[in-house]
Structure formats: C-alpha cells, structure tokens
Structure 1
Amino acid sequence: MTYHPKSDFMSVMMERGFLADCTDYQAFDDALSSGIVPGYIGFDATAKSLHVGSLIQIMTLRWLQKTGHKPITLMGGGTTKVGDPSFRADERPLLTPEQIDDNIAGIKQVFAKYLDYGDGPTDALMLNNAEWLDDLNYLDFLRDIGRHFSVNRMLSFESVKSRLDREQSLSFLEFNYMILQAYDFLELNRRYGCLVQFGGSDQWGNIVNGIDLTRRVLDHEIYGMTTPLLTTSDGKKMGKTADGAIWLNADMRSPYEFWQFWRNTTDADVGRFLKLYSELPVEECERLGALAGSEINEAKIVLANEVTTLCHGAEAAAAAEATAREVFEKGGIGEDLPTLTVTPDDLPLSVVQAIVKAGLAKSGKEAKRLIAENGARIDDAPLTDAGLMLDAGALASPVKLSAGKKRHALVQLAG
C-alpha cells in the first residue's frame, strides 16, 4: 500500500516499521492532523512486570505523546480476572484480586519511564478497567451490549478458531473476554474521547469488535491500528530467551542482563530494532544496521545503550557497557555483574548449587550438563569438576562463574 501520511505520528509509524494494519488510514490520519488524539493500549496484569515483547506497544504510546497526542495506558484489573484466550493453547490460571493489584503496581513503574503522566492535554492517563467492569450488572450488560455480538462472527476470529480447530476447550469465561475488551473501547470513548486502540496484530479481531460496538451504541467514528508481531530473524518470539522472559523491571531482570540481551542481537535485526526501540534518526538506524564485520558489534552496543537508557536510565546503560567491556575485553570481574552473596552458614557450597542460585542454570541437572559439555568456567578457567565445593578459602575474594561466553555472575561471601 502506498499511502503518504500528513500527520507526524503516522509518518513515524510508517517510517520506523510500527505499522502492520489500520482500520482507516485516511480518516485516522485526518484526525491526527486536526487535533489531539487520545489513544490507548490495554495491558492485562498477569505478571509483576511487562517484558520486551510489550516494548513495541510502549514505544507506540511514547511516539503518540512525542508527536502531540494523548496516550492512555489501560490496566486490565477487570479483564485479568477473565484472561485473554488469544492464541493460547490453554486457559490462563486465574489470579486473586490481591495478586492483580500487586502486578498493576509493578507494571506502573515501567510506564513512568516512557510516558509523562499528568493533567495536561497531552499528558498520559493511567486507568484501570475494573472501574467500569467490576460493577456491571450482568442482565443489563447482556441486554445492552451482548445483543450487538454475533456468535457466528466471534467463532470466525482466528484466536478462537485456532483453539477450536485443535479441539481444545474454550471456556465461556474466556469467550466473554472479547466482549469485555470491546466494551473497554466503548467506555474509553464515552468517558475520555479515546479515538484509537493500538495492539499487536493478534488483537485485530478484538479491536474491530470495539469499533463496531462503539459505532452501534454511540454512533462515533473510532479507529484501530496494529503493530507487527515481532520475531527475531532466526524465528524466535521477541523477548523470550533460553533462560526466560526479558522483563522490563530491574528487580526481575538486572539492567546488565537487559543490556546484554540487546548487545546479543542477531546482525540482521540491528537496523530494524534501532528503528523500533530507539529514538535515533531513521537514517542513522539504517547506517548502523548496514555495518558489517566487527563494526556491527559497535552498532549493537549503540542499540543496547539506547534501549537500556530509555528503560533503566543513562547511568545503568553506561555501567552495563563498562562491565561488559571489562568482562569481554579484559577478562576481568565487572562490578555490575549479577551477584550471589552467600553467608558462612551456606558453606561449603557445591559449584552446581552456586551456578543454579546465581541464575546461570535452571536446575542442578542443567548445571551438571553445562559442566559436562565444557560450557562452564570458573574465574575464566574451564570448570570440569561437577563435585567441586566452594569453601571460605575459595571465596576469600569473589569468584566469577560463566555459562558460555556471554553469561556471567559473581559469587561472594557476605561481610
């Protein structure tokens, strides 16, 4: 599709690779050009932090604000009680209200780094859909809202169809989810004049539902825009690694490990990720992405620094780079490495346990396999003895453990 946008926001979305689809390019672009557009993304509170997979959505809202519009972050305090069935093979475990509130508190910390909240015309709003979902009267809701939904059409959505095609159970609870998400859009339009919902391309059906419902109930024109579902060039889902999700909260994934994730980007992804996850000019992103040989490693460091600065601050990014250079270039011990502190009561500690506790392996079995396959090192020397015990003498100074070439941790004695 060749479309030449008028608005700054649409230009950024198209130039930088954020745009997968839009319900009406022309009308949405006209709205963006003629005033402040409030736009929202909903985030269910299924964990205490969002991970890198949500970063494209957060950056969409950041660009919305930077181009003069109003972002709304909608916490799914109500919908999390149901669970989104989209493209899941099974039903989500249900959380208690206390767990949901805890998760929302953790997620809010992330948004504060990317968006400016307040009462101004383009200041971000933080809302919780429990505000209108918790007090719904079921019979009124069925009569006023449910009558606008065709079950035939709902069954045709890919997210539902994929579950049914595999003959996996889809509970009535989950089937309601798309009606609740559509109702969110209606309420946000009614209460806050929200004109657009953003989401990953797997949310297209849910977004269109909300647009149709709002047209039928309020006769208002609103829009939907989706971002691509990102995978790395080797086909892996964005934000997931062998050792788990890359969380955005520092207490769940250290800034050093976060920096390392970006530093280890595949060569082919550098330019694309710079456009999506940094604010460097597009030409510079393309120049860096086109570098080859050892120069592409410097481009990866730029990527890691830019993304870590946005998420954890410039100091954390600089400290991570300094640690990485020390560890990789000098074989030294970086101060910023993830550290396991043990007390004299923990000693002697087996090296296998140390590897697990330091987060370099998920289990003793995995740690032993790492050692057997020559993938473990202790103070940069090959670790071959899985029966090695660390005592007070061995920990007189911090010991560096490594899994492969890129993952390291320190073990030190308290005191």
Structure 2
Amino acid sequence: MHILDDLEQRGLIQQTTDNEGLRKHLEENTVTLYCGFDPTADSLHIGHLLPILMLKRFQKAGHRPIALVGGGTGMIGDPSGRSTERSFNTEEIVKGYAEQIQEQISQLLEVNQGENSVVTRNNYEWLSEISIIEFLRDYGKHFSVNYMLAKDSVESRLENGISFTEFSYMILQSADFLNLYEKENCTLQIGGSDQWGNITAGLELIRRTKSNDEEEAKAYGITVPLITKSDGTKFGKTAGGAIWLDPKKTTPYEFYQFWINTDDRDVIKFIKYFTFLSVEEIEELEKQLQEAPEKRVPHKRLAEEMTKMVHGSDALQQAERITEALFSGNIATLNAVEIEQGFKDVPSYTSKERNVGLVDLLVEAKISSSKRQAREDIKNGAVYINGDRRDDINYSLSDEDRIENTFTIIRRGKKRYFLIRYE
C-alpha cells in the first residue's frame, strides 16, 4: 500500500501541498523528510507522539526520516497555537532540554540503526552561526511583511500583540527546511496542523532561492490533524497534568492507565493514529467493541501497544501487574517499585515506629478522624492492610505488614487508599 493511502486510511493527513506531486515523488524516490521538536520542557509528552510515529511510518515505507531538535528555535519561541508570548529559558536550560529530548527520540525511533534509519539533528548548529546581517539579507528579504501577517500563527496574535522575536520564528523554521534541503536533500516536512504556516513558508523560501530558469525546486509538506477527544477534554491531559514520555514524570502505570481509560468513542481512532496494527486487526477490534463493549478489548490492546512502544515490555508487564493487583485488592503481590508507581498520588504518611497499634496509626496518618472512629472502622470491617481485612481493634502492625520492609498499604472503605512509609 502506498504510504499516503495508509495515512489517509488512518485519518492522519490534515493537509498536503501538491498531493499528486508528492505521491509521485514518494513513488520514484527514497525521500528524506523531517519533523521538528522544540525543547520547551525536559521531556516530550504524548502530544508529540503523532509526528514521531509519522517519521516511523515513513521509515517503514523505505524513506529516510530526520528528527530535528530545535535547540536554536527553542530559544526564540513558536507563536503557533498560543495567545500569549512564551517566557524565555536560558541558553543552558534549552541546551539541557534539547539533549534530553534528543535522547528520548533516539530511544523511540531506534536512531542510526540501518540504511534508512532515523537520524537526529539540532538546528542550533546552523542557526547559531547566522549573523543578524545574514539573517536580514539572505532570509528576511524573501518574506514580505504582508505575507507573514496573513499566516494564522501571526494573525491570531495581532490583537494581543506579538514581539518581533516571535514574529520572526517562521523565518528561522524556513531556514531549517532550506538548510536540510541543501545539505541532506530533504524534500518533505511534516508537522502538526498548527505548523501549516511555518511549513508553507519554508517551501516558499526553497522555491525562491533554489529554483532556476530550467527547473522549479520541488519540496512538499504534510500536516497531521489536531487530536480531539469526544468528551471535549484536551488530549494528553489528566487531572495530574500532561502525560509525559519520561517515566520519571509519568510512570509507566500512569501511562498505561491513560490509554486503557480511553473513551469508547475515541479508542478505535486512537488505535488507527498511534499503533501499527493492520486494517484487518483494527476492524476486528472495532467489531469486538460493538459486540462486547464491557470487555474493553480495544482499550487493553491500545494500552498494551503504547506502553510497550514507549516504555518497553518489562514496564508493560509491571503496569499490568499493578492494574490487576488494584482491581483484585491483592496488594501484597506488588513489590516496592510497583507500590511507588501504583500509589504515587494517594495520601501518604511516614511512620517513625516500626510496630504500631492499628488504631493509633489510623489516627496519626489521618485515615480516621479519632480513635473512636478508628475503632468503629475496624469493627465494621472497613480497614484493610495490604489487601487483607483487619477487624481486631487490638491489632498491631508487624514486620509481616511491611512490603519489602518499606511500605504498608491501608485501605479504608472500598476505594480510599493510604500509603504508609517507614523511616
């Protein structure tokens, strides 16, 4: 199947420049393409996954992808999709972010492994060498102010104001495309739908500087759609904030839970977007969703595919163990690392005593409001230690109640969990 047909079937193409020309170009050539990622944080989040996986799809189709880390443009700030000016980070911070993101991309895309392997570049290498005079003479002269004002990323900011710095961002991104066109024969840029103006500006710069009397320079652009959720909430956000790709910021268990809790109305769309499952497999999952929605088979498959892709098989198995333990209440099967992940956001208390009466602990940890309430909770069978009910008001915790000598999990009622740590 032609790569463009596969992308269209999955709903992954928002806009293209010269669709027929691009189709022919991809059929006749091993195409070098790129996508840019500005280092605005120390990790990518799942909103970046769609363009990352687009690079991987083109790689699987035999083309040569470049993942461009914006060490230079990240110091300026892209106005696209924003209503206010970005705050500047220091050069040192941006450099650190760029290195971390480059490492993440390398892990996700298996950089430098094979003939058409993904390669990474950092635009700080060439943008930092352009003087202000070169910028104005060699690049700025090819862009009229009227042309730039007409771009959505600029026009939407005029009412609230836009600095000359952010106004110039599209010229810098155009310089990236031109540089990669010249040095790497890169003829295709992909990006999110908010990047359309920047992409077409790059194509214009290539056309103006590289076309001659005999032949017009050929380069192309593709944008992927903005991901929307059927319930109206923003994709990639939870009550705890963004879903990051860094396991230290979003644990593999949290990552797994995000995907498995996908709305029924979105799950098949997300499988098409984010996985490499075949059309036949996706159709079968859609059939299972229609026939037995309560089994949530597509949701589990989506969570499995994404967690394994981003964090690996071991992390997937760990996330599944935590999920099963929490569902069954069999907390004692978890190890300390899994406890840290599964109970990251529950209330916690650090106990200074190794062996303490259960009533005293419930009050000290503010699990029960008073000793009287604690005794009632215990008598009523509402208190569980590591998944086991304790109904003896004289019970004292012992070494056996500490998981790996580090944690005890207390549950009050059906769903209220508390994490007890030990000094």
2:315 aligned residue: 316
TM-score by length of 2: 0.81
Query: 1:374-389 counterparts in 2 under 5 A?
Result: none
1:211 aligned residue: 203
CA distance in 1, matches of 2:96, 2:301: 34
Q: Does 1:161 align with 2:155?
A: yes
CA distance in 2, matches of 1:240, 1:283: 30
**Residue 407 and residue 186 in structure 1: after superposition, are their counterparts in 2 closer, same or farther (change >3 A)?**
farther
Offset, 1:208: 0.2
1:178 aligns with one of 156, 170, 186: 170
**Residue 49 and residue 309 in structure 1: after superposition, are their counterparts in 2 closer, same or farther (change >3 A)?**
same
- RMSD between aligned residues: 3.1
2:190 aligns with one of 194, 198, 201: 198
2:65 aligned residue: 71
Offset, 1:331: 5.4
Quick one: which amino acid aligns to residue 315 of structure 1?
Answer: D
1:275 aligns with one of 272, 275, 284: 272
1:188 aligned residue: 180
CA distance in 1, matches of 2:109, 2:311: 14
* Worse-superposed segment, 46-55 or 233-242: 233-242
CA distance in 1, matches of 2:189, 2:415: 39
TM-score by length of 1: 0.82
- For these two proteins, the number of residue pairs brought into alignment is 374
Offset, 1:26: 1.0
2:260 aligned residue: 263
Per-residue Cα deviation, 1:157-206 (whole angstroms, up to 9, x for no partner): 12222222xx2121111101011011110111011111111001111011
Q: Does 1:247 align with 2:239?
A: no
CA distance in 2, matches of 1:21, 1:146: 26
* Worse-superposed segment, 237-246 or 331-340: 331-340
Unaligned 5+ runs, structure 2: 212-216, 355-360, 368-382, 388-395
Quick one: which amino acid aligns to residue 222 of structure 2?
Answer: M
Identity, % of aligned pairs? 40
Query: 1:10-409 counterparts in 2 under 5 A?
Result: 10-118=4-112, 120-164=114-158, 167-219=159-211, 220-290=217-287, 291-292=289-290, 293-330=292-329, 332=331, 334-335=334-335, 336-337=338-339, 338=341, 351=365, 397=402, 398-400=407-409
Offset, 1:101: 1.8
**Residue 323 and residue 141 in structure 1: after superposition, are their counterparts in 2 closer, same or farther (change >3 A)?**
same
Quick one: which amino acid aligns to residue 298 of structure 1?
Answer: V
| Contact 2:350 2:420 (C-alpha < 8 Å) held by counterparts | no
Per-residue Cα deviation, 1:225-248 (whole angstroms, up to 9, x for no partner): 000000111122221112100001
CA distance in 2, matches of 1:135, 1:407: 57
Offset, 1:288: 1.4
Offset, 1:277: 1.2
**Residue 151 and residue 345 in structure 1: after superposition, are their counterparts in 2 closer, same or farther (change >3 A)?**
farther
Offset, 1:406: 9.1
**Residue 233 and residue 24 in structure 1: after superposition, are their counterparts in 2 closer, same or farther (change >3 A)?**
same
